[in-house]
Amino acid sequence: MVSAGFDAHVSDPLGQLRATEEDFGRMTRTALKIAGKYAEGRLISFMEGGYSLEALSNAVCAHVRTLSTHT
């Protein structure tokens, strides 16, 4: 289970962690690898925070795109 918070985005006014869309894609790939090893590839992603609508949209798209291209 992934608590998918996107307030770490570089454009988010609160998080200040400076993550990019590419970073969210990499984090998603890492979560998928862990799920493959320990959960037969199953992964549940719950959307959490994000306070810039544009940054949230871009980060969520990167996350979902990575999930959907995983085979």
| Domain ranges, residue 14 | 2-69
User: Which pLDDT score, from 0 to 100, does residue 71 have?
Assistant: 65
User: What pTM was computed for the model?
Assistant: 0.91
Closest CA to 53 of 7, 20, 2: 7
User: Which pLDDT score, from 0 to 100, does residue 23 have?
Assistant: 97
User: Which pLDDT score, from 0 to 100, does residue 70 have?
Assistant: 82
8, 12, 13, 19 alpha-carbon torsion, rounded to 10°:
40
20-67 pLDDT, tens digit each: 999 999 999 999 999 999 999 999 999 998 999 999 999 999 999 999
User: Which pLDDT score, from 0 to 100, does residue 16 have?
Assistant: 82
User: Which pLDDT score, from 0 to 100, does residue 53 have?
Assistant: 93
As for how many domains the chain has, the answer is: 1
